[in-house]
Amino acid sequence: MWLCSVVAVAPMPEDSDQYYGFNQFAIQLNGFEEGMRDKLPPTDSRYRPDQRLLEEGYIEQAEQEKHRVEQIQRQARAERERLGKDWSPTFFRKEMRKGEECWVSRGNYWSHRGTGFTDLSLPTLW
């Protein structure tokens, strides 16, 4: 005897063709939930201005903004290299686990969130 589980699939939104055929969950993935903006670090990718413009359908402006953001990041990298500074993520570190390289939490996110991330010296990303 075979047992199968049945998964109900929600209907696609009427305008899903304008959102690359994404379902409602995927469309809302980069959105801000009520009251979340003040709880996220300024480096959260949902704040990327080029991404916001793209999601709002402003393709040409998004392209220009992406170029601007990438230029800022290239300049920051060049400055770090000039100063001989290494970059390391604030909330994660690389570790070898079972012979594989993995990203592991530093365990500091929630304490920094409690201060509104004001205790961090975060890079300008955009």
Residue 89's identity, in one-letter code, is P
pLDDT value of position 101: 93
Mean pLDDT of 36-55: 88
Residue 54 lies inside a defined structural domain of this protein: yes
**pLDDT for res 68:** 96
Range of the domain at 78: 16-87
Residue type, position 121, single letter:
S
DSSP tag of 19:
G
Residue 116 is assigned to a structural domain of this protein: no
57 found inside a domain: yes
The predicted pLDDT at position 83 comes to 96
Residue 72: predicted pLDDT: 94
Give per-residue pLDDT as tens, 65-117: 999 999 999 999 999 999 999 888 999 999 998 999 999 999 999 999 999 99
- For the chain, what is the domain count? 1
Structure tokens that stand for 119 in this block: 């205790």
Q: Is residue 70 part of a domain?
A: yes
Contact by Cβ (8 Å): 124, 47 = no
pLDDT in tens, 1-29: 455 555 667 788 887 777 777 788 877 88
How many whole angstroms separate alpha carbon 20 and alpha carbon 45?
20
* 86/97 Cα distance (integer angstroms): 23
Q: Is 52's pLDDT higher than 80?
A: yes
3-state class (DSSP) for residue 93? strand
**Domain membership flag for residue 66:** yes
Cβ–Cβ under 8 Å, residues 88 and 118: no
**Domain assignment of residue 59, yes or no:** yes
Position 52 in a domain: yes
The confidence score (pLDDT) of residue 1 equals: 46
Which pLDDT score is estimated for 3? 53
Q: Is residue 39 part of a domain?
A: yes
